[in-house]
Amino acid sequence: MSNKIKELFLQKTKEENIVFSTGFRDLDNCIKNVKTGSLITIGGRPAMGKTELTLSIVNHLIKNNKKVTYFNLYMSENYFINRLVANKTNLPIKDIFEKQIELSSIISDLDFYENNNLEIINEYNLTIDKLEQKIKNSEIVVIDYIQLIKSDNPEIDIIQELKRITIEKNIIIIVLSQISRKVEGRNNKYPLLADLKTFDSLEELSDVVLMIYRDDYYNRDSSVMPYAQIIIQKNLYGEREYINLNYKNGHFASLEPIFTDTTKNDACSLYNGNEQGD
């Protein structure tokens, strides 16, 4: 008598291909089991760094020969390209915008994009149907940001459709999401799952939810933490945890030194929901 459960498990285990890594050592240690078919949400208040963090992830993915489609739904094409170049060169975004750079010093960095693994789609009235049509051979799709996706049918749940697409096309979708301004009224301004804005199903159907918190966002005139916190508020593949990243000149970077105990990542601490209180 055949064991269908055993056969299916071994078949699916063999077929599964882990294609996703962020390039941030400690974050990857926390979500290292993310697989195709996953929906990842990156949330935060405006100007907290959602796009910047995502561009770093995208540049890492295409460096590792992953095919990425980036749906830019709200920035001008010129603004987006400047943001991408600033991220790749690690230069202050202000210097890129104001052309306070020697082009010859960064031009070789831009050869990085010759592999054509990155497709940028600038679309300002994107529907879920159009999005699905435009996804071709991508392994990872980015939507910046989800509140701007439209639907021709108000009865259709956009997040359910995105989750369906990840499974049917065997891809990973990353959505950037604004969070509710109600966080501003709390004494403790760490973002919560409940702060995800507009779509209730985003909290339910996301496999991983990353929230960004920077203390200097709220305390600009005081001595604050010199880093950003990435709070893993939901993790289907592991624990709810948080990590610290350097944040300098508008760019994220892994903290140093590299931890030496491979059984415990000190920069990836177990998240305690009570810390986020109020």
Is residue 4 assigned to a domain?
A: no
Is residue 5 assigned to a domain?
A: no
Indicate which CATH number applies to the domain containing 25.
3.40.50.300
Give the pLDDT confidence score for residue 154 in this predicted structure: 80
Is residue 3 assigned to a domain?
A: no
Specify the number of domains making up the chain. Answer: 1
Tell whether the model's pLDDT for residue 223 goes beyond 70: no
**Distance between CA atoms of residues 51 and 238, nearest Å:** 24
At 144, the pLDDT band (50, 70, 90 cuts) reads very high
**Distance between CA atoms of residues 93 and 115, nearest Å:** 24
The DSSP result for 147-193, as a single string, is GG-B-SSTTS-HHHHHHHHHHHTT-EEEEEEEB-GGGGGSSS----G
Tell whether the model's pLDDT for residue 200 goes beyond 50: yes
**Which DSSP letter does residue 196 get?**
B
Is residue 268 assigned to a domain?
A: yes
Give the pLDDT confidence score for residue 266 in this predicted structure: 46
At 99, the pLDDT band (50, 70, 90 cuts) reads confident
Is residue 257 assigned to a domain?
A: yes
**Distance between CA atoms of residues 62 and 58, nearest Å:** 6
- For the stretch 4-51, pLDDT in tens is 786 776 766 655 555 689 999 999 999 988 989 999 999 999 999 999
At 220, the pLDDT band (50, 70, 90 cuts) reads confident
Average pLDDT over residues 118-122: 95
198-204 long-range contacts (CB < 8 A, ≥24 apart) are: 198/146, 198/147, 199/146, 199/157, 199/158, 199/159, 201/157, 201/159, 201/160, 202/41, 202/146, 202/159, 202/175, 202/177, 203/234, 204/159
Average pLDDT over residues 135-154: 90
Is residue 7 assigned to a domain?
A: no
Helices (H), the chain: 4-15, 25-30, 50-63, 77-89, 93-97, 103-106, 128-134, 158-168, 200-205, 215-218
- Give the bridge partners for 71, in sequence order: 121, 143
Average pLDDT over residues 70-86: 94
Q: What percent of the chain has pLDDT over 90?
A: 57
Average pLDDT over residues 190-207: 89
Q: Reduced to 3 states, what is the DSSP secondary structure of residue 71? A: strand
* Domain membership of residue 211 as a residue range: 20-276
Is residue 205 assigned to a domain?
A: yes
Closest CA relative to residue 56, chosen from 31, 25, 33: 25
Is residue 11 assigned to a domain?
A: no
- Predicted TM-score of the model (pTM): 0.87
